[in-house]
Structure 1
């Protein structure tokens, strides 16, 4: 089943919550003119960048263990772990973030910044009510209003509430800074509102942003969003264009699990199962259950039931583990699995209902309606 047909579009919460991810663009000079073709800029090798990132994150944890009241360090750790989940498909990052939130609040109970950081973490797990409560406490402690608003807008965008207010906020921030970390959530919102060409233009502008010390995470992220834009949001879709953008994302960041998944799905839809398998196998080291799920489907299509069953069981195990710990964060992703290969329509409906109750968006309503048909 086509992913967009089932989910009613998949820009989803993850892109809005992407507003919580602050990839540094320090020492950068923006290129003012929008180009139809993006410039080729030399970026750090993706695998080297990942290794450097993980080493830096390990050092940050050691520093925080010695300085548990250092909220600059904890803030950097939050960004680092969001990178792990967003790009590497490492969902154990949520366990570490949950533990970090407890430590930050325990050691900084009178700090407004601590509550903002706890709100960021709860928001990344789709615990929106908890997130809003932490922001309320931060306000009572005279927290930084700009930082509070940044998290608030991400939650509003994720839940499709007060979209005009969010649009104004995103546009003002994007125009003021011209940096990718502000323009990407703005373009994502425009795409969600059906302004495809404008979103495309802003993504391309972000891709042309000039960096003195460029990180491949940023262009990989933008290329992935462009793939989503043309492969799953635009009507009609342009799968060939989407595939080219996913390929560029992977070239920047070979360990980009989500990009590999979406590229594989395009290959599978056109019967190119060998290519799909080849693109997915390097992502098996992640903890994203969709990788083993799609590999199971590939082996089923290749009439290799033994291998298909093995990977299907792995997908079930990973989905169960994630849903036990973070049901709201993975409910929408799991619905399609349980309707299809997971063969549990009632569980799919329960998850779709849970997702809708947490964020009653039009997309969540479509998901619930489509799932009900399979009961």
Structure 2
């Protein structure tokens, strides 16, 4: 798919036409089914009756629920379950795969790659190994390596999984129009009924377009994801950003207030404090700023690799400590030499320079 045709095929300034997309199970039913499945698997684990496949599913579904609900504590629980899985089945490549994925989520990239190497040595299929390695490579900014691995997968099979992986890699590398073409191709290739994979895909494309300032396209993708899964917290958070960028500050603030009460991710309280400051609601802004700052302190103590960039953004803006932001941004750049990581360092350096003047 060439970038010369991507802009036209991806919908241009009007945003893509996502009407008539793949039908999926109602979000409230899907969330109920997810909760019930996790409860059943947990019960089996407690009684010592969970199979290796069941352990892998429990880790995956717990991490998924943590992502959808914006609950870091749930993702931490998934990481703990993955460690238990490895303890119980250290020679099973499925346990190492589960732990590699969670280590990747918390930006422990070297450890994740070690697990993937060990899983490959124990017989994990090449397609899965290559896709997981590609995900790590693109996250740390090694886009050429990631694309080479993904193209090998495409040569063997083109489906929702491989097309979506290509879309994410192009999105991370800054090739937004090319990425959106792959996102659309992956969406057309979806054959399931669960709303989770498709809502995550649509969220990722919407997030990419929002970062570009393509607000119409961003809202189109994000609202499609939200219609499939209304309780999808990250999508609601990006819609709040879109609202604010469109000048709908009251709507954005109210949306973020709801998220701040149900999510333990300080990203939402930080954004809420920032918008409240702009709206001159200083007392409430101070409350949420203090809440976000305390939460970032906790997360940096436990997962410094994963939250250095988010904490840097907080201290650079509403947190009011650009020197600290610069230290964290530089730490993040060592871990992930991505365009966004470089941009964060540049912003922090400019802010520190302004404060010195």
TM-score range, shorter-chain basis?
Answer: 0.7 to 0.9
> Which position in structure 1 is the counterpart of 2:255?
279
Is the alpha carbon distance of 1:153 and 1:371 closer, same or farther for their aligned partners in structure 2, counting shifts above 3 Å?
A: same
Distance 1:348 1:65 in 2: 43
Identify which range, 139-148 or 254-263, moves more after superposition: 139-148
Is the alpha carbon distance of 1:214 and 1:110 closer, same or farther for their aligned partners in structure 2, counting shifts above 3 Å?
A: closer
Normalized per residue, which structure has more helix? Answer: 2
Aligned partner (choices 59, 74, 77) of residue 93 of structure 1: 74
Contact persistence 1:81–1:97 (CA under 8 A): yes
> Which position in structure 2 is the counterpart of 1:360?
337
Distance 2:49 2:302 in 1: 25
1:169 aligns with 2:145: no
Shift in Å at residue 283 of structure 1? 2.0
TM-score of the two chains, using structure 1 as the length reference: 0.81
Aligned partner (choices 117, 121, 135) of residue 136 of structure 1: 117
> Which position in structure 2 is the counterpart of 1:104?
85
Distance 1:275 1:47 in 2: 23
Contact persistence 2:68–2:231 (CA under 8 A): yes
> Which position in structure 1 is the counterpart of 2:182?
202
Is the alpha carbon distance of 1:192 and 1:136 closer, same or farther for their aligned partners in structure 2, counting shifts above 3 Å?
A: closer
Q: How does 1:1-375 map to 2 (within 5 A)?
A: 37-38=17-18, 39-67=20-48, 70-161=51-142, 163-174=143-154, 176-211=156-191, 214-233=193-212, 237-284=213-260, 285-375=262-352
Distance 2:123 2:36 in 1: 35
Shift in Å at residue 139 of structure 1? 4.1
Question: Which runs of 5 or more residues in structure 2 are unaligned?
Answer: 1-8, 353-357
Is the alpha carbon distance of 1:68 and 1:136 closer, same or farther for their aligned partners in structure 2, counting shifts above 3 Å?
A: farther
Distance 1:316 1:195 in 2: 34
The CA deviation string for residues 2-38 of structure 1, in whole angstroms up to 9 with x for no partner, is: xxxxxxxxxxxxxxxxxxxxxxxxxxxxxxx999633
Distance 2:145 2:137 in 1: 9
Distance 2:202 2:129 in 1: 29
Distance 1:179 1:281 in 2: 38
Contact persistence 1:89–1:288 (CA under 8 A): yes
How many residue pairs align between the two structures? Answer: 338
Identify which range, 73-82 or 35-44, moves more after superposition: 35-44
Distance 2:182 2:305 in 1: 30
- Helix, strand or coil for the counterpart of 2:351? coil
- Helix, strand or coil for the counterpart of 1:373? helix
The CA deviation string for residues 60-104 of structure 1, in whole angstroms up to 9 with x for no partner, is: 222223347732112112221231233221111232123213212
- Helix, strand or coil for the counterpart of 2:128? helix
Shift in Å at residue 223 of structure 1? 2.1
The CA deviation string for residues 274-332 of structure 1, in whole angstroms up to 9 with x for no partner, is: 11023223323011212122222232233222211222222222222222211111111
- Helix, strand or coil for the counterpart of 1:228? helix
Shift in Å at residue 111 of structure 1? 2.9
The CA deviation string for residues 195-227 of structure 1, in whole angstroms up to 9 with x for no partner, is: 43332222122223353x512223322221221
Contact persistence 2:99–2:115 (CA under 8 A): yes
TM-score of the two chains, using structure 2 as the length reference: 0.85
Contact persistence 1:219–1:249 (CA under 8 A): yes
Contact persistence 1:34–1:205 (CA under 8 A): no
Distance 2:158 2:266 in 1: 36
